[in-house]
Chain A
Amino acid sequence: MTDSASQVLYQARIPIYPRSVKGRFRTLKWGILTFAYGVYFLLPWLRWERNAGPDQAVLFDIADRKFYLFDLVMHAQDLFWLTGFLLVAALLLFFVTSIAGRVFCGYFCFQTLWTDLYLLIERLVQGDRVARIRLDKSPWTANKFLRKVLTHILWLAAAFLTGLTFTLYWGNAPELIVEWFTGKAPFAAYATTLFLTITTYVMAGLAREQVCTYMCPYARFQSVMFDEDTRIVAYDVARGEGKAGRHKVTRDLKTLEQRQQQGVGECIDCGYCVQVCPTGIDIRNGLQVQCISCALCIDACDTIMGSLGWDKGLIRYTSEKQAEGKESRILKPKTIAYGLVLLAAIAALLWGVSNQAPLEMSVVQVRQPLFVRLSDGRVQNSYELHIENKTDQPLKLAIMMRGLAGAELDVGKLSSVEIGPQRSLRVHARVRWNSGNRHKGSRSFEFDLIPQTQPEIGMISAPATFYMPGGDS
């Protein structure tokens, strides 16, 4: 080795040991976490009676290209709803962020939820912050080794359950789980489980706050949505620092009066707010990109202030304007604009979902041969009608055509077409027409589908083109 030191290209991660805290936001977060986990882990097991299709409440059936969401069945053609849903989700995020900051990050993001679970496991096995720091600094003993191994085993178990549950949404859960453990499940089930197990373990167990700080795009563009009226977790600098700054509680600085006399603020510099922060920041330094608005520092500070008998809210949800003592508005042009666009997107999505066509038909012309001349001089064109019954009842349908005067429709010996619930069918139809000399080239007409068993569905039509060869024959 020479005397030159290695160039530092990146900073190694500084380990963070978040401390546990009790308080109203922590309670709220536990509540949300319990509810979210309850939904996520139990939903695949919820049964749902259907006339046709699987009896699983939520099932994404890729093989049959149908998504079952309770009483709603999404077909491949309805996939644009997903676009609508993503649009609504994005707008909701913008709207909420401009009002209340990163509440999604702090309370609902799965990275936050799973990291919380992993921290809980870590705390149960290795103890709270101080114990964990001590354990990490201590030499390797059997005790340390066991605790570390147990933590990772539990983490992996949680990750595995997460991954396995995810796969259950894509198949019949009670059947798939048996297949999974007997080695008969499709390869995709194993691959998905493995992938999600690994990502959960790595993201929630190892990467943690680095996901929020370095990987998550949302943290990058939140500044666009923030303004001086946005609710953020903030430290009341004026109250906490006073004129002479923060100071620990000492003999001369015990009561509020003593502190005020000497110009010292109310922050006793106990560091609790820093210790509980899952991203390891000091909120007293102001708003930072790492802050996920989880409000645990509020709980921590309120606990301290409460125990001292002083007013709570030294750290609280406030806006930049409010903190400066100015009036802060929630409803302003930007928020209203977000809100209106959001409402429009929700309305459009709801309209689309509630107006799902119960019956659909599309027509493809047979192009080989494009036309055939018949013995009586008429011209015949053939079509493939693709009919999809999206109801949960079998349908009896009559196929008709309209728009070509004197043309004959021939669907062979099918007196009427029967199509099962949630099924699709292709019907070969021939149209024979003699235009005389009036029409050459293409002529538009329509196929009609008339439900005979459920007339309330009403007739549906699909456009088609009749090709008439040139010439005068």
Chain B
Amino acid sequence: MSDTKKPQSAVQTTGHAWDGDIQEFNNPLPNWWLWAFYATVVFAVVYWIFYPAWPVGSSYTTGVMNNITFVDSDGTEKTMHWNTRALLLKDLQEGKSATLSREYLEKVQGADYETILGDAEMMAFTRSMAVGLFGDNCMPCHGAGGGGVMGLFPNLADDDWLWGGTVEDIQTTISDGRYGFMPSFRETFNDQQLDDVAAYVLSLSGQETDSASAQRGKRLFQTSAGGCYYCHGTDGKGMKSQGSANLTDQIWTIADVPGADAPAQKRAAVKAVVANGVQRTMPHWSDRLDKTQIKLLTVYVHELGGGQ
């Protein structure tokens, strides 16, 4: 389309000249570009009027759009100038998903545990809500999926419940907290006796041990010499009221028996627990979490390990 006959050096000059022949070229912007620039200037002015824009001292101009009204999480109604934080708060209170989840929450609040546990939809909702609560409050100790930490914090995903695994027990544990205590036997037993008790404890759950040593340990365990049975029971099955561990099952929360390779290592692990004792505290959450939150967490924890 270009016309080859037209001069190619078609550049405007401003008409200025220096040193005789140095000219100042004039390459004006395209008109549409210039008008687009003016439009941005107009836009900016309109924007200042409507929206927060200029810092003024420790405050700022808020603009005339003072129409974001929302109900705060504590129930007070607020009207704010336009800002994304207010929009978010409004959406968190009045948005579609917020309304929907509030409806569900009310349903869960009104239902008893039996109903919730038997209703797939309520369970799904409870889990989705509780994952966040668990992550905020419980995860630092019990791990993201309730897996616990060997020797420190119990595993909530297994079927062993030190303080009971019914929903009522779990709710009490969360709201009131628990204090787990086993005395240190370092002063009571000598080294030989510690070995014997450890051997007996290992034999309770069918671990390979020196049977003579285990027999001696059994006497210490079941008599007032050691008094272990006060808490763990004569059969070693533990007591829910004390939070004492069932020593006959395959679950080890403090002595890392499954992680040990040789029988000697296993015995050393158990021996250390007997010698040092146990002191574990689960804080109470009734001050920090409300009843609904505790309910959600109770159902969630119950489901993790299958409950009782």
Contacts and interface: CB of A to CB of B under 8 A. Distances in A.
Given A366-B145, A414-B118, A375 B123 contact: no
B85 interface: no
A376 B258 CA distance: 13
Interface stretch (B102-110, B152-160, B187-195): B152-160
Interface residues of A, number: 38
A427 B131 CA distance: 14
A473 B123 CA distance: 34
A374 B258 CA distance: 12
Contacts of B15: 2
A437 interface: no
A372 interface: yes
B120 A419 contact: yes
A293 B147 CA distance: 70
Contacts of A473: 250, 258
Contacts of A382: 145, 157, 304
A413 B117 contact: yes
Interface stretch (A5-13, A315-323, A356-364): A5-13
B135 to A, nearest CB: 11
A375 B120 contact: no
Contact of B246 (A11, A368, A375, A412): A375
Interface in A422-461: 425-428, 430
Interface in B30-87: none
B236 to A, nearest CB: 13
Interface string B270-308: 000000000000000000000000000000000111110
Given A11-B1, A372-B155, A410-B306, A4 B246 contact: no
A373 B205 CA distance: 14
A410 B304 CA distance: 11
A18 B13 CA distance: 42
B2 interface: yes
Contacts of B114: 413
Interface in A456-473: 471, 473
Interface string A1-32: 11011111011000000000000000000000
Interface string B1-44: 11100111111110100000000000000000000000000000
B143 interface: yes
A197 interface: no
B158 A375 contact: yes
Given A7-B6, A63-B96, A368 B143 contact: yes
Contacts of B303: 412, 428
Nearest to B117: A413
Contact of A430 (B3, B119, B306): B306
A92 interface: no
Interface string B244-269: 00100111000000100000000000
Contacts of A380: 157-159, 306
Contacts of B8: 7
A427 B123 contact: yes
A418 interface: yes
B127 interface: yes
Highest count of chain B CB atoms <10 Å: which of A5, A10, A412, A415: A412
A217 interface: no
Contacts of A139: none
B6 A375 contact: no
A374 B251 contact: yes
B147 A377 contact: no
Contacts of B7: 4-5
Given A374-B160, A410-B306, 16 more contacts: A368-B147, A369-B145, A372-B305, A377-B250, A380-B158, A380-B159, A380-B306, A414-B117, A414-B123, A417-B120, A425-B124, A426-B128, A427-B120, A428-B303, A430-B306, A473-B258
12 contacts: A4-B7, A6-B10, A369-B155, A372-B305, A373-B258, A376-B250, A382-B157, A412-B117, A419-B121, A427-B124, A430-B306, A473-B250
Interface of A: 1-2, 4-8, 10-11, 63, 366-369, 372-377, 380, 382, 410, 412-415, 417-420, 425-428, 430, 471, 473
7 closest A-B pairs by beta carbon, nearest first, are: A375-B249, A369-B147, A368-B145, A7-B10, A413-B117, A377-B250, A368-B144
Interface of B: 1-3, 6-13, 15, 96, 114, 117-121, 123-124, 127-128, 143-147, 155, 157-160, 246, 249-251, 258, 303-307
